[in-house]
């Protein structure tokens, strides 16, 4: 066994007592683990002595250097969120020294790159401080109860070492526990090993005071580690998460890991999640993990992130293989990576018996209503939405509703249409389940990922039919989605919900938010008369037809305004009092119903039952499920990533 400077650095750390079994990690074969550990030439040492100041100290030690300079990079984005975050903005005091602790020169050459002049040293130690106050985006956060570290925002790397194994050693306060998908180092306590930098980045680390729930599925260990002041409903979480895991395993045919870790941050206002290689980080409220309010949304979040274990983590669009951490990575297939995952998020919960079919149908009716209410559906294609995620989806503007679609929500509806079309063409002998499993077997990350051509080929293999025209219309084109025909395959009728007394009688096309005393225009929808009349985002509406207007009262006021009736809007723009008069428009559908047909065919019943994994409730009943429009950018049930 080799004891170079990297190994000695770990051995010289102050000893911290770690409770047996406190590390939540993915086990690997003993010989493999030892072989990896013996090949480590790069080690990260994490000091958590100052977490009460939200400061984390990182030391990265490179052994075996043989070049006059060493360039270090910190990723500008994190996998799972397609937006440039520029993590280097929270790095401070970068310094370097050789193995004998003699200072080395460091200069910054780009926003996320530092160059060390090695002076011929074989060992280079680079140390820097990290301000860790980014909890909601799930990148790095520390305080006196824990530290959460997502590798892309924490660990600098050298490109020439990216494919080599690395070690992470953690120096933490006494009594703190570690939860991570990383493998424990067989030689050293308090140390973990990653096969390469990509695995390190895809294995977030939670260190601190947390609850730990453990269970097995198919003999494979799983853990739920929960940070936050709460009393988790352990048995319920264990049972329901196990059902989600088993249901999705049945789609792909395996559990592609040796251990899986659900990391949960439970705090007031917590929402959202990010998928990782053999773990996920999810954020929710204390009430949710206690089985109370928002528990169903937590299950939806878990279902979504866990489905990514296959779809994205192993089956990934070719444009994202390999990751380029220093710039945007482009693909027109995020609608599969995220939208298809949204589709299976909900289907999984029904198949697992965690959500009733009628509740699911009600939610889907709401998704249709939201998508059709968005003027951007006729402007941006699903493929373009995927490709431009970096500059549009994750950089929302007041005009986004008019110019864009969500590859999450619209992608889920196109995935539904694909599923039903495959079932229709094969008399339910095949489904989108089979296509996804086929892609997973043929086009993993190791083989370079998958392309649109690969997806089309798989669809044709399973149906004997080309899907080129389908993709031209609904993926690369902007034709209205014929979800009515798709639902009919499963014996369902989608119709606009009948008007109710509380529905608005007319439409202005204005999205309002209350700011102090004013109803401020958040967005003017391009299909509304307010847009045509020149109202713009930021206008402060004082009155409607001479009476003061509050944002929450708009629908109530529109119950008394008929289509074609003149309306007078008084507003302030840049401190100037102005007014405009225009005619109210016909109201938009405020919801849809999904109704089981009264006399389904045998094929419709078979499709319904295999699709949802639940029995058709009765051929003599017509049971509607309706919904108001849902937030089209709320794919994870809790929040977008």
Asked if residue 502 belongs to a domain, the reply is no
* pLDDT over threshold 70, residue 125: yes
Domain count of the chain? Answer: 4
Asked if residue 388 belongs to a domain, the reply is yes
* pLDDT over threshold 90, residue 27: no
> Which element (helix H / strand E) includes 462?
helix 452-463
**pLDDT score recorded for residue 255:** 97
* pLDDT over threshold 70, residue 635: no
Contacts of 260 (CB under 8 A, 6+ apart): 26, 181, 220, 221, 222, 223, 245, 278, 279, 309
> Which element (helix H / strand E) includes 459?
helix 452-463
Going by the DSSP 8-state scheme, the letter that residue 445 receives in this structure is: G
d(CA 158, CA 234): 42
Q: What pLDDT digit, counting tens, does each position of 368-424 carry?
A: 999 999 999 999 999 999 999 999 998 999 999 999 999 999 999 999 999 999 999
| Residues 159, 109 share a domain | yes
d(CA 48, CA 77): 24
**pLDDT score recorded for residue 293:** 78
> Which element (helix H / strand E) includes 626?
strand 624-627
In the chain, pLDDT over 90 holds for what percent of residues? 89
Closest alpha carbon to 508 in 466, 541, 485, 473: 541
Asked if residue 89 belongs to a domain, the reply is yes
- The per-residue DSSP string of 295-337 comes to HHHHHHHHHHHHHTTTBTTTB-BGGGSS--TTS----S-HIII
Asked if residue 589 belongs to a domain, the reply is no
| Residues 461, 345 share a domain | yes
Asked if residue 316 belongs to a domain, the reply is no
* pLDDT over threshold 70, residue 31: no
* Final residue before a domain boundary, out of 148, 181, 208: 208
* pLDDT over threshold 90, residue 558: yes
Within a 10 A sphere around the Cβ of 30, how many other Cβ atoms? 9
245: CATH: 1.10.390.10
| Residues 610, 463 share a domain | yes
42: CATH: 2.60.40.3650
* pLDDT over threshold 80, residue 349: yes
Q: What is the pTM of this model?
A: 0.92
| Residues 34, 109 share a domain | yes
Asked if residue 636 belongs to a domain, the reply is no
| 3-state SS, one letter per residue, for 471-520 | HHHHCCCCCCCCHHHHHHHCCEEEEECCCCCCCCCCECCEEEEEECCEEE
Mean residue pLDDT across the chain: 92
Instruction: Report the sign of the C-alpha dihedral through residues 196, 202, 208, 213, in that order.
Output: negative
**pLDDT score recorded for residue 627:** 54
- pLDDT higher at 240 or 32: 240
Q: What are phi and psi of 218, to 5 degrees?
A: 55, 35
Contact 140, 152 (CB under 8 A): no
CA 60 to chain centre: 29
* Position 589 confidence tier, pLDDT thresholds 50, 70, 90: confident
* pLDDT over threshold 80, residue 638: no
* Final residue before a domain boundary, out of 156, 186, 208: 208
* Position 619 confidence tier, pLDDT thresholds 50, 70, 90: low
Contact 145, 135 (CB under 8 A): no
Q: What are phi and psi of 288, to 5 degrees?
A: -65, -45
CA dihedral 402, 308, 72, 156 (to 10 degrees): 110
Q: What pLDDT digit, counting tens, does each position of 7-18 carry?
A: 434 433 333 333
| Residues 204, 215 share a domain | no
| Residues 220, 115 share a domain | no
d(CA 150, CA 139): 5
| Residues 412, 340 share a domain | yes
| 3-state SS, one letter per residue, for 376-411 | HHHCCCHHHHHHCHHHHHCCCCCCHHHHCCCCCHHH
Asked if residue 500 belongs to a domain, the reply is no
* Final residue before a domain boundary, out of 208, 238, 265: 208
Lowest mean pLDDT among 6-20, 239-253, 269-283, 548-562: 6-20
**pLDDT score recorded for residue 7:** 43
d(CA 639, CA 641): 6
Asked if residue 320 belongs to a domain, the reply is no
Within a 10 A sphere around the Cβ of 631, how many other Cβ atoms? 13
**pLDDT score recorded for residue 14:** 32
Assign 3-state DSSP to the chain and report helix, strand, coil percentages, each to 5: 30, 25, 40
| Residues 451, 416 share a domain | yes
In the chain, pLDDT over 70 holds for what percent of residues? 92
Contacts of 601 (CB under 8 A, 6+ apart): 491
d(CA 192, CA 185): 5
Domain of residue 523 covers: 510-583
Q: What pLDDT digit, counting tens, does each position of 48-81 carry?
A: 999 999 999 999 999 999 999 999 999 999 999 9
| Residues 455, 428 share a domain | yes
| Residues 167, 44 share a domain | yes
| Residues 414, 535 share a domain | no
d(CA 625, CA 571): 40
* pLDDT over threshold 60, residue 203: yes
Q: How, if at all, do strands 133-134 and 140-142 pair?
A: antiparallel
Mean pLDDT of 119-137: 97
| Residues 236, 179 share a domain | no
577: CATH: 2.30.42.10
**pLDDT score recorded for residue 3:** 39
* Position 629 confidence tier, pLDDT thresholds 50, 70, 90: low
Contacts of 616 (CB under 8 A, 6+ apart): 491, 596, 600, 605, 608, 609
């Amino acid at each position: 066994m080799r004891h170079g400077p990297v190994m000695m650095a770990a051995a010289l750390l102050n000893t911290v007592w770690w409770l047996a079994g406190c590390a939540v990690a993915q086990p690997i074969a003993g010989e493999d683990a030892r072989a990896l550990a013996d090949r480590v030439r790069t080690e990260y040492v994490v000091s958590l002595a100052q977490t009460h100041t939200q400061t984390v100290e990182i030391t990265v030690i490179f052994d075996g250097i043989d070049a006059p300079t060493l360039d270090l990079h910190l990723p500008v984005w994190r996998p799972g969120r397609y937006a440039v975050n520029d993590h280097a903005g929270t790095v401070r005091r970068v310094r370097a020294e050789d193995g004998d602790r003699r200072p080395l020169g460091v200069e910054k050459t780009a926003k996320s790159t530092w160059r060390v002049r090695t002076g011929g040293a074989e060992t280079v130690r680079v140390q820097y401080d990290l301000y860790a106050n980014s909890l909601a985006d799930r990148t790095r956060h520390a305080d006196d109860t824990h530290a959460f570290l997502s590798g892309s925002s924490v660990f600098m790397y050298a490109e020439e070492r990216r494919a080599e194994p690395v070690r992470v050693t953690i120096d933490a306060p006494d009594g703190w526990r570690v939860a991570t998908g990383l493998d424990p180092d067989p030689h050293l306590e308090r140390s973990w090993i990653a096969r390469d930098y990509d695995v390190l980045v895809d294995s977030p680390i939670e260190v601190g005071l947390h609850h730990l729930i453990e269970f097995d599925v198919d003999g494979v260990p799983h853990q739920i580690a929960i940070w936050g002041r709460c009393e988790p409903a352990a048995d319920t979480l264990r049972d329901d998460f196990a059902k989600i895991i088993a249901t999705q395993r049945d789609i792909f045919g395996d559990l592609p890991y040796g251990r899986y870790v659900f990391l949960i941050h439970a705090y007031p206002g917590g929402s959202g999640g990010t998928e990782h290689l053999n773990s996920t980080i999810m954020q929710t409220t204390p009430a949710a993990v206690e089985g109370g309010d928002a528990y169903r949304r937590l299950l939806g979040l878990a279902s979504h992130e866990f489905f990514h274990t296959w779809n994205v983590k192993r089956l990934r669009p070719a444009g994202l293989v390999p990751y380029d951490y220093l710039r945007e990575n482009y693909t027109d297939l995020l609608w599969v990576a995220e939208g298809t995952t949204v589709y299976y998020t909900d289907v999984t919960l029904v198949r697992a018996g965690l959500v009733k079919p009628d509740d699911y149908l009600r939610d889907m009716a709401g998704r249709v209503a939201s998508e059709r209410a968005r003027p951007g559906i006729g402007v941006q294609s699903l493929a373009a939405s995927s490709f431009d995620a970096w500059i549009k989806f994750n950089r929302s503007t007041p005009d986004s509703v008019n110019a864009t679609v969500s590859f999450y929500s619209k992608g889920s509806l196109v995935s539904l249409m694909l599923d039903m079309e495959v079932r229709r063409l094969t008399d339910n002998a095949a489904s989108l389940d089979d296509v996804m499993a086929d892609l997973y077997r043929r086009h993993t990350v190791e083989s370079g990922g998958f392309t649109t051509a690969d997806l089309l080929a798989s669809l044709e293999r399973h149906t004997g039919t080309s899907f080129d025209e389908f993709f031209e219309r609904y993926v690369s084109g902007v034709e209205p989605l014929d979800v009515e025909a798709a639902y009919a395959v499963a014996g369902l009728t989608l119709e606009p919900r009948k008007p109710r007394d509380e529905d608005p009688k007319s439409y202005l096309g204005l999205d309002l938010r209350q700011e102090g005393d004013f109803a401020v225009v958040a967005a003017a929808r391009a299909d509304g008369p307010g847009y045509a009349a020149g109202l713009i985002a930021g206008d402060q509406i004082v009155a409607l037809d001479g009476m003061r207007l509050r944002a929450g009262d708009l629908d109530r006021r529109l119950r008394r305004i008929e289509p074609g009736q003149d309306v007078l809007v008084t507003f302030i723009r840049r401190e100037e009092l102005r007014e405009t008069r225009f005619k109210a428009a016909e109201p938009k559908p405020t919801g849809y119903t999904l109704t089981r047909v009264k006399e389904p065919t045998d094929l419709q019943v078979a499709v319904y039952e295999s699709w949802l994994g639940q029995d058709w409730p009765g051929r003599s009943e017509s049971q509607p499920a309706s919904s108001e429009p849902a937030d089209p950018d709320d794919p994870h049930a809790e929040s977008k990533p």
